[in-house]
Amino acid sequence: MNRYRVVIIEPATLIAEGLQAILAAYPDVERVSCIEPNADIAHQLRITEPDVVLINMSVAHLMDSCEELESIPTIGIQSAIVAPATQNRFAHTITTFSSAEAVKSAIREVVATPSERSYAESHELSERERDVLVLVARGYTNKEIASELNISPHTVISHRKNIVHKTGIRSVAGLTVYAVLNKLIDSEQL
């Protein structure tokens, strides 16, 4: 049985603690952690090493400034009406009206999706994805990559998600090794 580590980023204490209680009783969940939206999210994610993050869509802007969130499957918690562009940033969405079973199902689906894909058979990285990968390997942030390539930060995030799906590698260190091994970048350029 797969056991998942879940992080909840939710400003409403009642919702965060409710989700935490539901998931703590779920045998597939190894650990549930709550992170305050104003905390050092990147640091907390490195400590907790989650398999999936549930994040309120009202704080989706945190995804732009936290590179760790880009490589972790995310489920959006919708507690109000949000723009379709915001909804599209998430692998799955739940609402504050979702049943406990719907929440559990969303987690299973989101965590299972990347592992079901055969990375050996996946498509090659596009030229733009290779460009993004090289800049990630060099330590650029999303905003710096967007500026360097004259694209939006949202497009950078989309490319990074595609890279993760195509390579099966989530960490920046792993992607850097991938770039070096595939001769996309020379190790001396790092």
32-70 tens-digit pLDDT: 999 988 888 888 988 888 989 999 999 988 887 787 787
Provide the β-strand partners of residue 53: 7, 74
Q: Round to whole Å and give the CA distance between 69 and 62.
A: 8
Q: Given a cut of 60, is residue 184 above it in pLDDT?
A: yes
Give the model confidence (pLDDT) of 3-13 as tens digits: 889 999 999 99
Half-sphere exposure of 1 (CA within 13 A, CB side): 7
Tens digit of each residue's pLDDT (9 = 90 or more) over 111-126:
876 543 333 444 588 8
Domain ranges of the chain: 4-116, 120-189
Which helix H or strand E contains 55, and what residues bound it?
Answer: strand 52-56
pTM of this structure:
0.61
Task: Report which of residues 190 and 183 the model is more confident about.
Answer: 183
Structural domain 120-189, CATH architecture: Orthogonal Bundle (1.10)
Burial of 19 (0-12, 13-18, 19+ CB in 10 A): buried
CATH topology of domain 4-116: Rossmann fold (3.40.50)
Integer Cα distance of 94 and 8 in angstroms: 13
